[in-house]
Structure 1
Amino acid sequence: MHKPSTEPRPSIYYDYKVHKPWLPSAHGAQARQQVVIVGSGPAGMVAALELARHGVASVLLTAELQVSQGSRAIVFTRRSMEILQQLGVAARITENGLPWRFGNSFYRGQRVFRMEAPHDADDRFFPMTNIQQQYLEEYLLDACAASPLIDLRWGNKLTQVQQRDGFASLEVDTPEGPYTLESDWVVAADGGRSGIRSAMNLQMEGASYEGFFVIADIRVDLPLPTERLAFFDPEWNPGNTILMHREPHGIWRVDYQLPPGETPQEALEPASLKKRIDAQLAMIGHAGAPWEMDWCSVYSARTLTLPNYVHGSVLFTGDAAHLLPIFGVRGANTAFQDAQSLAWHLAFVVKGLTSQRLLANHSAERVGAAREIIDEAGKSTRFMAPPTRGFKLLRDAVLSLSLTQPFVRPLYHWRTSRPHEYTHSALNSRGDDNALFTAGPAHGAPPQNVRLGADDFLLDHLGGGFDLLYFTEGATLPAALLEVVEATRRRGVPVKVVAIGAAQPVAGADLTLADADGHVRTRYGVQAGGAAYLLRPDQHVCARWLTLDATRLQAAFAAALPR
């Protein structure tokens, strides 16, 4: 019988709420579900909320009775905020988080590199926003609770999954005993130590690095800006790396590498933690500053992925699908993109709008994204924690040269997480004008945001289905295009037509956005009327045309929705 803890987790800044468990005796016989999601971390909740946006109900199982312990993921990128805006939680993160865009690398007391993330007036969100994961989970939980399509079951621990003919049978344990639940689809969002992945004997591909890192969240008053700080080869931790981040509520993340041979248990001894944190504060000029520990943990850097995220009725997402190093804020930010992609692909299959081939596309795209991230993150990891003597010699040469030679300093760049572009996706239209554009988001890229007013941006108006952006100053959309749109809608496919350019409402469009100064057209590389973009439900571009006609629009829908 599952007995989750009913004691609130300890924290000096976050008030943990213990929820009541979902008990089977209070709900009677269980009907077969369309989707069961295992794990209520960021990936699981984003998947549930995205499915709900597409009208698909889900059961969300979580073994615990409260949100996760410790700050865990703390840095969320602009693209993550754009995804979270679709779910209705971005405003709360903006209100309570700390925005930033600069990163600093130090060696021997000298700043040798300063990273500056791009940011301009067309961006609603900053490149990065810091907030502890407990708050993110709280905001997502509130959104889940507000949705009638999400059945969140606290204190429900999955113990077994058996795949049947076209569905899965799940054994779930609760504080009053087990019950059986059947589901057409199971989303494994149960984290890096995924029990589902282990039970299915699935092997990840990639590399694990031997070094260990300590994460320590402390409350300390430091008069420093919200910028990422990285210190290489400091005197108190020779040959290793230390990272620091400011978090809300006076909390600072101190992240330092352990010397070879030291065990995680030794590193988390209070005396060891105190000695090293005191040394770090002294190194940055704040020796003796009083501080208080909130949470600490140890992790190792790994660059691993499953080669396929679809296994019969079980779909893997987030850390259950891959394990990525935190350098470059890749963990939760990648999980948001995973879950957004999975949800729309799965929703369209569940609703019968396309064949199960669409799920193979999801896997191909997200495995490709993971491999790209592994390639980039591996470079950052090998610089932060050289795995061999040869890599250490190269890293040390860069450190030494950076004191006097500016040309090597960009090698410190941590290759921040960015949205993957599905350049070679099977859903991209082969008969469009993608190759003829000289600007704007290309095949597979997410859209570019554009400021339309003081608090009005293009992405505020997009999402939830396919978006056809049609650039025109005319009064009416071409009838032939509208016939294709209406035929697609009759199949049950959500399509929104957004006319961009005209000052007055355009007949046939669901929304008209004026573009008097041509700024939107410039950002999208459009010169004349009749051009268009087609965005998938995850907002990535699947087709674009300098001149759109009905035949090519029909072909684009056929490619994006394989039968």
Structure 2
Amino acid sequence: MHQPHAEPRRSIYYDYQVFDAWVPSQHPAEQHAPVVIAGAGPIGLVTALALAQQGVRCVVLEAERQVSEGSRAIAFTRRSMEILQQVGVAHRVTKNGLPWNCGNSFYRGQRVFRMENPHDPDDRFAPLINIQQQYLEQYLVEACDAHPLVALRWGNKLVSFVQDACGATLQVDTAEGPYTLKADWLVAADGARSAIRALMELKLEGASYEGKFVIADIRVDLPLPTERLAFFDPDWNPGNTILMHREPHGIWRLDYQLPPGETPEEALKPESIKARIDAQLAMIGHAGVPWEMDWCSVYSARALTLTNYVHGRVLFVGDAAHLLPIFGVRGANTGFQDAQALAWRLALVTRGVAPASLLQSYSSERVGAAREIIDEAGKSTRFMTPPTRGFRLLRDAVLSLSLSQPFVGPLYHWRTSRPHEYTRSPLNAADDDSADFKVGPGHGAPPRNIRLGHDDFLLDHLDHRFALVIATDSPIPPDLLAVIEGARAGGPPLQVIAVGASEPVPGADKTLSDADGHLSERHGLRAGGAYLLRPDQHICARWTRLDATRLRAALHTAAGLNTGATA
């Protein structure tokens, strides 16, 4: 029988709640779910909420009875905030997190590079915001508890499963003993040490780097801004790298690299941690300042991915699908994009609107994104933790030159996580007018989140459906309406947003006046032009002049109703 830890975890700033364990005797009839998600971390919970918004009931299995221990993922990008807005928790992160947009690199006491992420008036969210993972998980858990289509089963450990063409049969252990749960689809969101990946004997491909880092969360009062601080080759840790981030509630996160050969057990000894944190605080001019430890751990930089995220009825997301270096805040931020990209497709398949082959486009898009990240992250990781003598010589030369030659500063660039553009997705329209647009986001990109008012932005008006954004102040033509109504009757769910009219446009779900023309200008829209957005807010078609035939074809393609979706 599975007996998870039932005492609240210790923390100096977060009050852990132990949730009631779900046991089968209290729910004898609940033996099937359309979707079962293994893992109640941020990625599993976002997947569950996104599916629920699409009308799909899901069960989330979590072996523990508490949210995760320690700060873990702390820096969330603007795109992640847009995804969290879509599932209903971004406002809580904004209220309680610390926004920031600058990163600084130091060598021998001198700042040698400062990177500032772009931010303009059309951005609802800051480029990055820091908040400890426990809080985000809490907000997501509470949102799941409030949704009738999500069932969280705490203290439920998936121990084995078998699958066939119709679904998966799971063996789940609880404090009361095991039970059998059937699922049409199983989503593996069970993290870096994925049990599902291990049970299927699937191997990750890529590179593991030798450098190991200690993560230490400490409470300390430092008069420093909320910015990323990176220190290279300090006297107290020669040849290695240290990162610092401010977190809410007076907590600072320190990541410091270990010398070769030191074991995690040695690194986590209290006397070792104290000596190194004291040395770091002294180096930045705060010797002797009192501090208190909250949590610490050791991690290695890895850049690995599965080559396919779809294995029959089992679908992989987040760290179960890929392991990415933290440099550039990639792990959770990439996982959110996985969750968003998977949920709408799985919903269409589950409801019988689209064929199961649509899911292969999820895999091709997200594996492609992971490989791009691995390529970018590899550059950052090799700079942070040089894997060979040659890389170290090159890195040290850059460090030395940067003291007197500003042109080498950009080599410190840490290549922040970004929204991926599915330029070559098989779901993009092949015969639209995208090539004729001079401005605006193209195939596979998210739209620009245009500010429409004081607290009103374009993405506020998009929901979980496909969205047709059309520039018109006239009623939607009957032939277009026929296609729209046909989609609503049994095809991909679709909302219509008219842009550029002062009064509601007949046939449109919403009308955005765009009185200053800013939205149209940023997207290159003229009268009669249109964009088609997928439910994950990525553009799959755009037209200078929309007609019913091409709209029908684009919806057909985007829903995977042709052979292109399996390419």
Give, in angstroms, the shift of residue 438 of structure 1. Answer: 1.4
Partner SS, residue 235 of structure 2:
coil
Q: 1:540 aligns with which of 524, 538, 541?
A: 538
- Listed as ranges, the matches of 1:23-42 within 5 Å are 23-42=23-42
Q: 2:556 aligns with which of 548, 555, 558?
A: 558
- Listed as ranges, the matches of 1:378-397 within 5 Å are 378-397=378-397
Paired with 1:185 and 1:505, the residues of 2 have a C-alpha distance of 41
Paired with 2:112 and 2:416, the residues of 1 have a C-alpha distance of 18
**Equivalent pairs, count:** 561
Aligned match of 2:336:
336
Partner SS, residue 347 of structure 1:
helix
Amino acid at match of 1:518: G
Partner SS, residue 113 of structure 1:
strand
Paired with 2:203 and 2:261, the residues of 1 have a C-alpha distance of 27
- Listed as ranges, the matches of 1:479-558 within 5 Å are 479-526=478-525, 528-558=526-556
Paired with 1:238 and 1:58, the residues of 2 have a C-alpha distance of 50
Give, in angstroms, the shift of residue 160 of structure 1. Answer: 0.4
Paired with 1:428 and 1:303, the residues of 2 have a C-alpha distance of 29
Once the two structures are superposed, residues 56-94 of structure 1 have per-residue CA deviations (whole angstroms, 9 ceiling, x without a partner) of: 000100000100000000000000000000111000000
Give, in angstroms, the shift of residue 222 of structure 1. Answer: 0.1
Give, in angstroms, the shift of residue 558 of structure 1. Answer: 1.3
* Preserved CA contact (<8 Å) 2:349 2:355: yes
Aligned match of 2:565:
none
- Listed as ranges, the matches of 1:25-174 within 5 Å are 25-174=25-174
Amino acid at match of 1:523: R
Once the two structures are superposed, residues 484-518 of structure 1 have per-residue CA deviations (whole angstroms, 9 ceiling, x without a partner) of: 11111111421110001111111111100011211
The reply on whether 1:448 has 2:412 as its aligned counterpart is: no
Give, in angstroms, the shift of residue 546 of structure 1. Answer: 1.0
* Preserved CA contact (<8 Å) 1:463 1:538: no
With normalisation by structure 1, the TM-score equals 0.99
Give, in angstroms, the shift of residue 165 of structure 1. Answer: 3.7
Amino acid at match of 1:508: G
Give, in angstroms, the shift of residue 562 of structure 1. Answer: 2.2
* Preserved CA contact (<8 Å) 1:105 1:230: yes
Amino acid at match of 1:510: D
Partner SS, residue 529 of structure 1:
coil
Amino acid at match of 2:516: D
Give, in angstroms, the shift of residue 29 of structure 1. Answer: 3.3
Give, in angstroms, the shift of residue 164 of structure 1. Answer: 2.8
* Structure 2 gap ranges (5+): 562-567
Partner SS, residue 360 of structure 1:
helix
Aligned match of 1:239:
239
Once the two structures are superposed, residues 330-363 of structure 1 have per-residue CA deviations (whole angstroms, 9 ceiling, x without a partner) of: 0110111001111111111000111011100000
Aligned match of 1:12:
12
Paired with 1:92 and 1:206, the residues of 2 have a C-alpha distance of 36
Amino acid at match of 2:553: A
Paired with 2:528 and 2:491, the residues of 1 have a C-alpha distance of 26
Paired with 2:158 and 2:510, the residues of 1 have a C-alpha distance of 45
Once the two structures are superposed, residues 514-533 of structure 1 have per-residue CA deviations (whole angstroms, 9 ceiling, x without a partner) of: 1121100111022x200100
With normalisation by structure 2, the TM-score equals 0.98
Structure 1 runs of 4+ aligned residues shifted over 6 Å read none
Please provide the CA RMSD for this pair: 0.8
Give, in angstroms, the shift of residue 463 of structure 1. Answer: 2.4
* Preserved CA contact (<8 Å) 1:475 1:505: no
Paired with 2:477 and 2:417, the residues of 1 have a C-alpha distance of 40
Aligned match of 1:217:
217
Give, in angstroms, the shift of residue 32 of structure 1. Answer: 2.3
Once the two structures are superposed, residues 120-158 of structure 1 have per-residue CA deviations (whole angstroms, 9 ceiling, x without a partner) of: 111100000000000000000000000000111010001
Paired with 1:503 and 1:38, the residues of 2 have a C-alpha distance of 48
* Structure 1 gap ranges (5+): none
The reply on whether 1:439 has 2:439 as its aligned counterpart is: yes
Paired with 2:344 and 2:559, the residues of 1 have a C-alpha distance of 12
Partner SS, residue 245 of structure 1:
strand
Give, in angstroms, the shift of residue 561 of structure 1. Answer: 1.4
* Preserved CA contact (<8 Å) 1:16 1:67: yes
Amino acid at match of 2:460: D
Aligned match of 1:193:
193
Q: Aligned residues: percent identity?
A: 71
Paired with 2:70 and 2:560, the residues of 1 have a C-alpha distance of 43
The reply on whether 1:463 has 2:427 as its aligned counterpart is: no
* Preserved CA contact (<8 Å) 1:475 1:504: no
Aligned match of 1:300:
300
Paired with 2:393 and 2:508, the residues of 1 have a C-alpha distance of 61
Amino acid at match of 1:262: E
Give, in angstroms, the shift of residue 436 of structure 1. Answer: 1.2
Amino acid at match of 2:464: G
Once the two structures are superposed, residues 226-264 of structure 1 have per-residue CA deviations (whole angstroms, 9 ceiling, x without a partner) of: 000000111111111000000000000000100111111
Once the two structures are superposed, residues 38-59 of structure 1 have per-residue CA deviations (whole angstroms, 9 ceiling, x without a partner) of: 0000110001000000000001
Give, in angstroms, the shift of residue 552 of structure 1. Answer: 1.1
Partner SS, residue 300 of structure 1:
strand
Deviates more, 1:127-136 or 1:543-552: 543-552
Partner SS, residue 152 of structure 2:
strand
Amino acid at match of 1:476: P
Give, in angstroms, the shift of residue 13 of structure 1. Answer: 0.2
